[in-house]
Amino acid sequence: MSAVATLPAVKATINGLMVEVPAGTSILDAARRAAVKIPTLCKHKDLLPTAACGLCVVRNKGGPRLLRACCTPLEDGMEIVTHDNEIVEVRRSTLELILSNHPAECLTCGRNGECELQAIAADFNIRTDCIKRYVKDLPADRSTGSIILEFDKCIKCGRCLQVCQEMQDVWALSFLERGINTRMAPAGDIALAESPCVMCGQCSAHCPTGAIVENDETAAVWAALNDHDKVCVVQIAPSVRVTVGEAFGLPPGTNLTKKLYSALRRLGFHAVFDTNFSADVTIVEEATEFVQRFVHQRGPLPLITSCCPAWTDFMEKKHWDFIDNFSTAKSPQQMLGVLAKTYYAQQAGIDPAKLVVVSIMPCTAKKFELSRTEEMFASGFKDVDICLTTRELARMLKQSGIDFLALDDGAADSILGQYSGAGTIFGTTGGVMEAALRTAHHYATGQKLGQVEFAAVRGLDGVRTAVVDVGGAKVRVAVAHGLGHVSTVLARVRQFGVRRRKVSEESGFGRSRRPEGARRREGL
Ligand code: SF4
Ligand code: SF4
Ligand code: FES
């Protein structure tokens, strides 16, 4: 029986409708179950309520004051009213106050059409400035090149702080000052690039307004495509094909790989590559590295790896004592860039100086990765020139007049567009680990690995572990979802004093302690 099922139920009415929900359910969630929609601005489904905006107010019949539905549990016998003239007027006044501190720049804002504040103002039919507008005109922070902080557009909902501090365990953002002067800023009031920020973009993904947006580089891609002296090629990351559809009204997870190939060609790219190809190369590199360390004992364990540059930055800033345990393999984005500017340029007879490599990636940290160290220029040029997020690609497709969903299927170019099943599962958390583990097992034993059974770790959402038999030796694997859980896993590695073995955000191995003689006998 699930934990939820054992909770006592509470019975109450919402707008006269009888509802029965487990104790502890918020009025907001209970109302949703009864198909009653209460407006919200600060509450996000992934996050705890911050009760910051005041839009979700409701009345309990006979109660002395209005209640915030997002953070008030429904109680037995309550008679909740979500909409009457007074409640709607309170919400409207709250909204007008929020708007009075917000710039009226919707047409030029990076979130135009995707802004929760804009949508809610339209729902309330707010057409005029009822309260004199006062905007501080604070300069934006563009220091990272990946994300932009537009402080004036912040409505102080607190989502980004909760994400950065509690979900990602980075603590780059903070509220500074007090009262009317309260503002969101990098902690210590420094430039974001100087802060512990790892450019993961999660704050941007959760911000309800245009206060945190990705650095839009679509103009640079249009310029390269229109430059007759350049040859533009593109790569798409595994997850982009199943998320781009959301921008066109399709449900999350709709696979549009082949339409995407067609669309990218129509945009004018000379060749279309698939990052799944270099994901396969990554698997070969990582599996080889693991066998070197595990079987031949050339290098420390655990071997730690992820294809996420935010993770690399996080590890360097927070867990630098594990640097020797990092895999030395580059991310698939960067591997494909090098291969395009060397192997492909040579095969296609293109001067690599004229080749522009564009990548379409799921997160803003990939933008930062393009020039994070001199190793990102291994081809003798910048290996990947411009990185766009899925949102930016969707914008380009909409600008171009291409009816994306009506396109026929297309194909990627050979050979940098071909891939195996291992590359395909890169788009899912833990996919890297499973693919690398299978290949390493084959390299070490010559045998195929059977089903890997992962188990959730008690009390740790977001961490899964498995024990895999590799030639008679037990390899312990940990997969952590989200940066916050990386610290948890590494704390356990430190706590148990395991001689450095392999753990990862998206992949990892670890071998249980076995006597040296036993390992030799097993040939490992
Ligand atoms: S930046 Fe966005 S998410 Fe952060 S507090 Fe302001 S409005 Fe909320
Ligand atoms: S990009 Fe990530 S690390 Fe940087 S401020 Fe936003 S949530 Fe924090
Ligand atoms: S959604 Fe409840 S206070 Fe903002």
- Region of poorest pLDDT, from 71-85, 148-162, 281-295, 440-454: 440-454
- Region of poorest pLDDT, from 22-31, 38-47, 209-218, 292-301: 292-301
CA of 147 to the centre of ligand 2 (A): 9
Pocket test for ligand 1, best of 99, 192, 209 (most atoms within 8 A of CB): 209
CA of 203 to the centre of ligand 2 (A): 6
pLDDT of residue 422: 63
Q: Spell out which residues line ligand 1, taking CB within 6 angstroms.
A: 154-160, 184, 206-209, 211-212
Evaluate: CB of 215 within 6 angstroms of ligand 2.
no
Kindly report whether the peptide bond that precedes residue 302 is cis, defined as omega within 30 degrees of 0: yes
pLDDT confidence bin for 458, thresholds 50/70/90 = low
Summarised one tens digit per residue, pLDDT across range 286-344 is 999 999 998 888 888 888 988 889 989 999 999 988 999 999 999 999 999 999 999 99
pLDDT confidence bin for 147, thresholds 50/70/90 = very high
Summarize the confidence of residues 34-39 as an average pLDDT: 96
CA of 34 to the centre of ligand 1 (A): 29
Considering only CA atoms, which residue is closest to atom 1 of ligand 3?
40
Domain boundaries defined on the chain: 3-83, 98-214
Q: Which ligand is nearest to the CA of 309?
A: 2
Q: Which ligand is nearest to the CA of 160?
A: 1
Summarised one tens digit per residue, pLDDT across range 60-76 is 998 889 999 999 999 99
CA of 96 to the centre of ligand 3 (A): 15
Structure-token match 């559809």, residue found: 245
Pocket test for ligand 3, best of 43, 65, 157 (most atoms within 8 A of CB): 43
From the CA of 70, give the closest atom in ligand 3. Answer: 2
Residue 120 confidence (pLDDT) above 70: yes
Top-level CATH class of 3-83?
Answer: alpha beta
Residue 181 confidence (pLDDT) above 60: yes
Residue 508 confidence (pLDDT) above 70: no
Summarised one tens digit per residue, pLDDT across range 239-259 is 899 999 999 999 988 999 999
Q: Which ligand is nearest to the CA of 208?
A: 1
Pocket test for ligand 2, best of 175, 199, 206 (most atoms within 8 A of CB): 199
Evaluate: CB of 173 within 6 angstroms of ligand 2.
yes
CA of 44 to the centre of ligand 3 (A): 9
**Among 302, 293, 304, 305, CA closest to 519:** 293
CA of 44 to the centre of ligand 2 (A): 17
For residues 33 and 26, give the distance between their C-alpha atoms in angstroms, rounded to a whole number.
11
What dotted CATH number matches 98-214?
3.30.70.20
pLDDT confidence bin for 131, thresholds 50/70/90 = confident
Residue 501 confidence (pLDDT) above 70: no
Q: What residues contact residue 359 under an 8 Å CB cut-off, 6+ apart?
A: 234, 235, 236, 237, 275, 333, 336, 337, 366, 384, 386, 387, 388
Summarize the confidence of residues 268-273 as an average pLDDT: 97
Considering only CA atoms, which residue is closest to atom 2 of ligand 1?
207
Summarize the confidence of residues 424-451 as an average pLDDT: 77
Q: Answer yes or no: are the C-beta atoms of 73 and 27 closer than 8 Å.
A: yes
For residues 147 and 228, give the distance between their C-alpha atoms in angstroms, rounded to a whole number.
30
Summarised one tens digit per residue, pLDDT across range 465-492 is 888 888 888 888 888 888 888 888 888 8
* Amino acid in position 246: E
What is the DSSP-derived secondary structure letter of residue 188? T
Evaluate: CB of 184 within 6 angstroms of ligand 2.
no
pLDDT of residue 423: 57
What is the DSSP-derived secondary structure letter of residue 423? H
Evaluate: CB of 201 within 6 angstroms of ligand 2.
yes
Summarised one tens digit per residue, pLDDT across range 339-385 is 999 999 999 999 999 999 999 999 999 999 999 899 999 999 999 99
For residues 82 and 466, give the distance between their C-alpha atoms in angstroms, rounded to a whole number.
48
